[in-house]
Structure 1
Amino acid sequence: MSLVQMSRLSVTRLALHAQNHHLLLSSSVSPLITFKRTMLQDPYRRPGQPKENKFPWEKINFDLSKGLAGIKKHFALLKKEFADRWVGPEGKPIIEHLLEQNRVVWEFRGPESLEDWVVSSDREIGGHSEAYLKIGRNNNTCLLYGTLNSTPPRDGETRYSGYCTMKSKQQLSSFDRKKHFDWTSFNTLHLRVRGDGRPWMINIGFETYFSHQKDDLYSYFLYTRGGPYWQDVKIPFSKFFLTHRGRIQDDQHCLWLDKVNSIGFTLGDKADGPFQLEIDFIGVCKDYAHTEEFAYEVYKRNPEV
């Protein structure tokens, strides 16, 4: 082998060695630039379904008659808002607002009261549970019933299943602005229910400022006795703990009672079979005997020395 061939062979080996070294470094070192999509939490998508790549304006149904009806509706709501402001907070006189100790927020008096609620189950992700909502026999209560099934769907990805949920819709004011419940004058949630002995989870949704907090909820347990008798349940707001997608958070803080958006009931006790929960009303009250601010340990951001 000549000297020229030996030099060419050595140069080729050095080039291959440098290329392999570069590949090892690139595979071990993570990129410094991260795409924005990976930094945010995507909404849940059922396994096996393709992602919907549409612009927001492509989902709007442009209809002239529907638009005119919407404008008329929103201007009527705006007129009512201005009239209520002259009377007092939430359309009540200021003296009545200050002395109020009990308030019924949701009550079920006819089929039209069910329009403010949404019922869902794990059937949306391929599960086998069923949940339904209807008005009671005397048109004064609502009945949430169905069948719980914890068998996971056969999609190769979902490992756990078995839940049913009833959640109130987001209240909207004129021009689809979010309308919050202001419960700062109260400290206790008041329910009148009749269940079948199953434990439920009560979830309170509140307004958040950041996109990664959109799945935050305040939760607490509702234990039903079962049987034909009604039970009045009073749960202080200080007992509700912060959760994110069903996981209890370490950094706990009190519920913002002036930014409440919704309330929901979730069943997921892994006991397969039929269930039912009858609700008379959902309200809030002021319990002067309860003075606790928050029942759980919170982090001191500036601890005393």
Structure 2
Amino acid sequence: MALTPLKQLATLHRGALLTLLPPHGPLVCGSRINFLGEYRRPGQPRDNTPPWKKIRFNFAKGVEAIQQDLTSLKDEVFGRFVGPQGRTLKEHLLEQTFVQWEFRGPESLSNWIVSSDREIGGRSEAYLKLGRNNSTCLLYGTLCSIPPRDGETSYSGYCTVRSKQPLKSFGRKKHYDWSNFNTVHLRVRGDGRPWMINIGTEMYFSHHKNDMYNFFLYTRGGPYWQDVKIPFSKFFLSSQGRIQDNQHPIQVDKVNTIGFTLGDQADGPFQLEIDFIALCNDRAHTEEFAYELYKRNPEV
């Protein structure tokens, strides 16, 4: 019986595949492949501990977590009848500046995560504490751009602080809705170093998890406070520190985090004091996006 062209092609590909296989059998991939796992330094052994052995049961912490979730669920249900952030709707519409983050006590620092290049073997140090009178946040430390001697890492020298992902009751994700605003309003006091402001939004695909919207924050130093207003249209898209060719505006209704990164390759001490991070609606700013948008398949 004569074979059809499709069956002939399948038979040919199967024969070519069998010639590439080793004589003792087919190649088998490992069962513990993790493409999106945590960072592991070069030379560090892999942790093969089964997941069930890492679980630590604590009845007291479980009851405390349930109480916190029920309290959060109560605020979600009854907060709709009061208004946004517990204020009346009239007051919410008339306000010009909405303070999203402020530092007025030790519990406000628990919503932030500090990291540096020590996670990859670097020598930079970063710390977070309350300022004077417990009314501001002070990020300080030492920057060191010497890369670790692991034979693979070529660049180092960064420190960053980032807000935590907001959660609803029972660990559900929550997003900040900034669709009523168009500008970020900061009140900071730095030491003259340039910082990078990072805004993270909710992404649909997993390979976009490292995408961030960035813009520069230039501090002038000195003892005086500095009010900075940055429109959303000025933020550009980057992934793992590389500016992307395909730019698009921020999804202001699905914001997850905001952060500050220092990486100016100037070794030495640094400090950045933050009073509040707010949002405002600048009526005079009408720009939608400051960067050119490219069409992959332009119309003929």
Does TM, scored on the shorter chain, surpass 0.5?
A: yes
- Among 172, 176, 183, the alignment partner of 1:177 is 172
Pair 1:83–1:229, CA change in 2 (3 A):
same
Pair 1:75–1:142, CA change in 2 (3 A):
same
Q: Distance in 2 between matches of 1:55 and 1:296?
A: 48
35-44 vs 86-95, which deviates more? Answer: 35-44
- Match of 1:299, as an amino acid? Y
Pair 1:280–1:43, CA change in 2 (3 A):
same
Q: Distance in 1 between matches of 2:31 and 2:251?
A: 29
Does the 8 Å contact 1:206/1:217 carry over to 2?
yes
Question: Corresponding residue for 1:207?
Answer: 202
User: How far is the alpha carbon of 1:23 from its aligned partner?
Assistant: 11
Deviations 1:175-225 (A, max 9, x none): 011121110000000001111110000000111111111111100000000
Q: Distance in 2 between matches of 1:75 and 1:55?
A: 32
Pair 1:56–1:259, CA change in 2 (3 A):
farther
Q: Map 1:1-305; keep pairs closer than 5 Å.
A: 40-54=35-49, 56-300=51-295, 303-305=298-300
Of structures 1 and 2, the larger Rg is shown by: 1
Q: Distance in 2 between matches of 1:102 and 1:94?
A: 15
User: How far is the alpha carbon of 1:40 from its aligned partner?
Assistant: 4.7
- Match of 1:52, as an amino acid? D
Q: Distance in 2 between matches of 1:274 and 1:294?
A: 36
- Match of 2:280, as an amino acid? C
TM-score (norm 2): 0.85
- Match of 1:246, as an amino acid? G
User: How far is the alpha carbon of 1:285 from its aligned partner?
Assistant: 0.5
**Unpaired segments ≥5 residues, structure 2:** 1-15, 22-27
Q: Distance in 2 between matches of 1:158 and 1:94?
A: 52
User: How far is the alpha carbon of 1:79 from its aligned partner?
Assistant: 1.1
**Unpaired segments ≥5 residues, structure 1:** 1-20, 27-32
Q: Distance in 1 between matches of 2:60 and 2:36?
A: 37
TM-score (norm 1): 0.84
- Match of 1:80, as an amino acid? D
68-77 vs 249-258, which deviates more? Answer: 68-77
Root-mean-square deviation (CA), in Å? 2.7
225-234 vs 137-146, which deviates more? Answer: 137-146
Does the 8 Å contact 1:167/1:264 carry over to 2?
yes
Pair 1:37–1:293, CA change in 2 (3 A):
farther
Pair 1:196–1:91, CA change in 2 (3 A):
same
User: How far is the alpha carbon of 1:37 from its aligned partner?
Assistant: 8.9
User: How far is the alpha carbon of 1:170 from its aligned partner?
Assistant: 1.1
Pair 1:22–1:192, CA change in 2 (3 A):
closer
User: How far is the alpha carbon of 1:279 from its aligned partner?
Assistant: 0.8
User: How far is the alpha carbon of 1:111 from its aligned partner?
Assistant: 2.0
Deviations 1:249-279 (A, max 9, x none): 1111110011111111000000001111111
Q: Distance in 1 between matches of 2:81 and 2:295?
A: 42
User: How far is the alpha carbon of 1:39 from its aligned partner?
Assistant: 10
Q: State the secondary structure of the residue aligned to 1:138.
A: helix
User: How far is the alpha carbon of 1:94 from its aligned partner?
Assistant: 2.9
131-140 vs 280-289, which deviates more? Answer: 131-140
Q: Distance in 2 between matches of 1:253 and 1:38?
A: 33
